[in-house]
């Protein structure tokens, strides 16, 4: 069967055969041995091409016999993401728009900080987003679908190559802070992290990975139950339910008390300190009273606060807080014993900063 999907001028033919990167290792071995009549060691070779070498086509698998590659082409599909557009900021940040097999696009951002020997990729987990946070460009897009584990993996693999080409340095960190809500794409996100951290994959340390959420309490508890080894960040932005309800509708079902309990449980199970992301909006959430409420919210679990500069989004009335207001806010938190950092935005000139990813241009 041939399914034809049309999106704009893009025409994609999806053949009705299994996506090889959705198979478990056991399923792949079954196909290799039972369907393709290959020795078991071929599974190891194919697995390495998929999850270590990032093969884009079966013909890339050069240590496999040509006839086997042809049979695999007939049996499986392999759907790599492809670069659609690349933009370089004045500060060195690189935003890449990737096209998926069905014609939809997502964005990833490479954030280099050579002075700190830190090269971070910000990856997407969904096409669009369903949470409708009022200050976020992605939130204005409809959620289309979750990304597959392979599509998330490809972002890391391709941006790592980008980092080597531009900076002669591999990625040091991965943050799931791009398009979409990672905990609403729980299974593919977790599977991608397995491939990224596995010795049979990219073998990156889970401590170099941060998954950010707008606050899905039951999924935070699920992460805790699984005792994950990666870091967790909560996009908080207000420590007052009324204010948070206005800018983040998800708070109506996951209020601050429920979130506090989930975060405390996460720390209790994992012993990993949590990061709270806090965008400072002028005359909205940047008063000393707001800082007091934030300090109170943190009691009960160790956390670090990142105060983030607001980045303009078309059609949004918020403006960024004044620098001296942010400094006073941070100083108050520090005096309360809170570990706080004021983070300046990167890549604003190419719409690559926090909250700006929306496939523009």
* Tens-digit pLDDT profile for residues 189-207: 999 999 999 999 999 999 9
Residue 107 is among the residues annotated as catalytic for this protein: yes
Going by pLDDT thresholds of 50, 70 and 90, the confidence category of residue 13 is very low
Q: CA 98, CA 359: separation in Å to the nearest integer? A: 9
Strand ranges inside the chain, DSSP E: 2-7, 10-15, 82-88, 94-99, 105-113, 118-122, 126-127, 145-146, 173-176, 209-213, 231-235, 274-280, 303-309, 339-343
Residue 116 is among the residues annotated as catalytic for this protein: no
Query: Can you read off the two tokens belonging to residue 252?
Result: 């109506």
* Burial (0-12, 13-18, 19+ Cβ within 10 Å), 115: exposed
Task: Decide the pairing of beta strands 105-113 and 94-99.
Answer: antiparallel
8 Å CB contact between 172 and 117: yes
Reduced to 3 states, what is the DSSP secondary structure of residue 15?
A: strand
Let me know if domain 82-350 sits in CATH 3.20.20.70. yes
Active-site residue among 122, 129, 136, 354?
354
Per-residue pLDDT at 354 = 58
CB atoms inside a 10 Å sphere around CB 253: 11
Per-residue pLDDT at 148 = 97
**Residue labelled with tokens 């909250």:** 355
Query: Can you read off the two tokens belonging to residue 296?
Result: 């109170």
Q: How far is CA 356 from the centre of its chain?
A: 14
Question: What are 102-155's pLDDT values in tens digits?
Answer: 999 999 999 999 999 999 999 999 999 888 888 887 777 778 999 999 999 999
pTM for the full predicted model: 0.91
Cα dihedral sign, 8-14-18-19: negative
CATH topology of domain 16-75: DNA polymerase; domain 1 (1.10.150)
Report domain extents, the chain: 16-75, 82-350
Q: CA 361, CA 88: separation in Å to the nearest integer? A: 13
Active-site residue among 107, 151, 181, 277?
107
Question: What are 68-85's pLDDT values in tens digits?
Answer: 999 999 999 999 999 999
Enumerate residues 6+ apart whose C-beta is below 8 A from 262.
Answer: 217, 218, 220, 221, 224
Per-residue pLDDT at 7 = 40
């Amino acid at each position: 069967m041939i399914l034809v999907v049309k999106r704009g001028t893009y025409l994609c033919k999806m053949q009705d055969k299994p996506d090889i990167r959705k198979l478990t290792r056991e399923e792949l071995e079954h196909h290799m041995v039972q369907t393709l009549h290959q020795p078991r060691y071929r599974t190891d070779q194919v697995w390495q091409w998929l999850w270590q070498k990032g093969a884009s086509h079966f013909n890339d698998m050069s240590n496999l016999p040509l006839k086997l590659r042809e049979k695999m082409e007939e049996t499986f599909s392999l759907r790599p993401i492809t670069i659609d557009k690349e933009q370089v900021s004045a500060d060195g940040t690189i935003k890449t728009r990737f096209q998926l097999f069905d014609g939809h696009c997502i964005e990833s951002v490479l954030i280099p900080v050579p002075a700190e020997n830190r090269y971070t990729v910000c990856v997407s987990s969904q096409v669009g987003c369903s949470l409708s946070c009022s200050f976020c460009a992605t939130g204005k897009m409809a959620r289309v679908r979750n990304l597959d584990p392979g599509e998330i993996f490809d972002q890391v693999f391709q941006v790592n190559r980008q980092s080597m080409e531009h900076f002669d340095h591999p990625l040091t960190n991965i943050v799931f802070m791009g398009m979409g809500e990672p905990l609403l794409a729980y299974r593919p996100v977790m599977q991608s992290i397995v491939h990224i951290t596995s010795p049979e994959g990219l073998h990156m340390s889970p401590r170099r990975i941060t998954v950010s959420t707008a606050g899905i309490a039951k999924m935070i508890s699920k992460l805790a139950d699984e005792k994950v080894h990666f870091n967790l960040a909560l996009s908080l932005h207000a420590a007052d339910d009324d204010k948070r309800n206005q800018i983040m509708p998800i708070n109506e079902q996951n209020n601050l008390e429920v979130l506090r309990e989930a975060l405390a449980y996460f720390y209790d199970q994992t012993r990993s300190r949590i990061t709270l992301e806090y965008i400072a909006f002028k005359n909205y959430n940047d008063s000393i009273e707001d800082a007091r409420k934030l300090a109170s919210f943190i009691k009960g679990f160790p956390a670090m606060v990142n105060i983030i500069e607001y980045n303009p989004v078309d059609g949004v009335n918020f403006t960024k807080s004044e620098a001296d207001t942010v400094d006073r806010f941070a100083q108050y938190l520090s005096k309360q014993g809170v570990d706080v950092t004021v983070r300046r935005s990167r890549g604003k000139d190419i719409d690559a900063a926090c909250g700006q990813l929306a496939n523009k241009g």
